[in-house]
């Protein structure tokens, strides 16, 4: 019952109503699965908006996220909640991100104690939360439908992946994103369609989960592109397949090709 960062004497689970959300840290790993994950041991020095953006970027690979709740109060320091649309996504995130080095601190994850109380107690909108989640779910479904509608159009586009200059026409870049580029396999990947605010830390978090990762190199003076190096062509290929089309933000779907030799 005791967590590595928790006090040695863990109290009874439902004794303190005001501490219900933070108390998720004391829940055992085999607690009832929920759509909401409780995160703690986060770096307390990271600004709230940056923390939310980075957590979204790190966790959206597992499924649609309805909300990221970060409250910078004394009681909630180093803690956060991530609300997924379904339990399958939250379970996958829990297993793969447990202990993940996030701003130089290993994240600790558990399921929230309740499906909805965790976020509603933080933002004070208990009754409005259901409507908000439904609206977010409908929005995510609409976005997914739009992406699905675009996919068939991208497949037959002219071949020829975008080079490091990022100046390839729109149609060839779409083909490259779906694996149709002509570039030969390379241990260095060319990444484009990144948001202007992307930084090296964000890309490191996304790519370091793949074996053989070496480094990320941003291009000075050119927003939206980067190079990522791996130990071998094969390792780079695995990372490209795993993150192709990754949604860095709701409107930025990452495109990855092998860098030109």
Pick from 178, 166, 161: nearest CA to 225 = 166
pLDDT classification of 113: cutoffs 50, 70, 90: confident
In this predicted structure, what is the pLDDT of residue 60?
A: 87
**CB-based burial label for 161 (10 Å; 0-12, 13-18, 19+):** buried
In this predicted structure, what is the pLDDT of residue 67?
A: 84
Rank 16-20, 133-137, 168-172, 212-216 by mean pLDDT and report only the highest. 212-216
All structural domains of the chain: 17-128 (3.30.70.330), 157-258 (3.30.70.330)
pLDDT tens per residue, range 156-207: 444 444 444 444 444 344 333 334 445 789 999 999 999 887 888 888 878 8
Phi-psi region at 24: left, alpha or beta (left = phi > 0; alpha = psi -120 to 50)? alpha
Q: What is the pTM of this model?
A: 0.41
In this predicted structure, what is the pLDDT of residue 151?
A: 62
Helix, strand, or coil here: 25?
helix
Segment 199-220 mean pLDDT: 87
Q: What are the backbone angles phi and psi of residue 23, rounded to the nearest 5°?
A: -65, -10
Tokens of 26: 């004391």
Q: Are 73 and 115 in contact (CB under 8 A)?
A: no
Helix, strand, or coil here: 169?
coil
Rank 3-12, 137-146, 161-170, 182-191 by mean pLDDT and report only the highest. 182-191
pLDDT classification of 23: cutoffs 50, 70, 90: very low
Segment 51-67 mean pLDDT: 87
In this predicted structure, what is the pLDDT of residue 214?
A: 92
Question: Cα angle at 89 between 86 and 90, to 5 degrees?
Answer: 90
Tokens of 6: 């928790």
Q: Are 111 and 90 in contact (CB under 8 A)?
A: yes
- Greater pLDDT, 224 or 161: 224
pLDDT tens per residue, range 71-84: 667 777 788 889 88
Phi-psi region at 51: left, alpha or beta (left = phi > 0; alpha = psi -120 to 50)? alpha
In this predicted structure, what is the pLDDT of residue 128?
A: 59
In this predicted structure, what is the pLDDT of residue 76?
A: 74
Give yes or no for residue 250 having a pLDDT over 70. yes
């Amino acid at each position: 019952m005791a967590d590595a960062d928790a006090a040695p004497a863990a109290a009874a689970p439902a004794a303190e109503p005001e501490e219900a959300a933070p108390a998720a840290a004391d829940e055992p790993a085999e607690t009832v699965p929920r759509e909401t994950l409780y995160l703690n041991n986060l770096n307390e020095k990271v600004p709230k908006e940056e923390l939310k953006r980075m957590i979204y970027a790190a966790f959206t690979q597992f499924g649609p996220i309805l909300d990221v709740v970060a409250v910078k109060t004394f009681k909630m320091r180093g803690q956060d909640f991530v609300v997924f649309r379904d339990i399958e996504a939250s379970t996958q995130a829990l297993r793969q991100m447990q202990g993940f080095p996030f701003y130089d601190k290993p994240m600790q994850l558990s399921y929230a104690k309740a499906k909805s109380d965790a976020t509603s107690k933080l933002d004070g909108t208990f009754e409005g939360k259901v409507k908000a989640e439904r609206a977010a779910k409908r929005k995510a479904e609409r976005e997914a439908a739009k992406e699905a509608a675009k996919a068939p159009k991208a497949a037959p586009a002219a071949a020829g992946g975008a080079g490091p200059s990022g100046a390839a026409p729109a149609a060839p870049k779409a083909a490259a994103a779906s694996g149709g580029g002509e570039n030969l396999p390379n241990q260095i990947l060319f990444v484009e369609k990144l948001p202007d605010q992307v930084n090296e830390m964000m890309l490191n978090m996304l790519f370091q989960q793949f074996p053989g990762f070496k480094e990320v190199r941003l291009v000075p003076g050119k927003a939206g592109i980067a190079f990522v190096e791996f130990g071998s062509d094969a390792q780079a290929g695995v990372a490209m397949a795993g993150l192709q089309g990754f949604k860095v933000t709701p409107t930025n779907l990452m495109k990855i090709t092998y860098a030109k030799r």
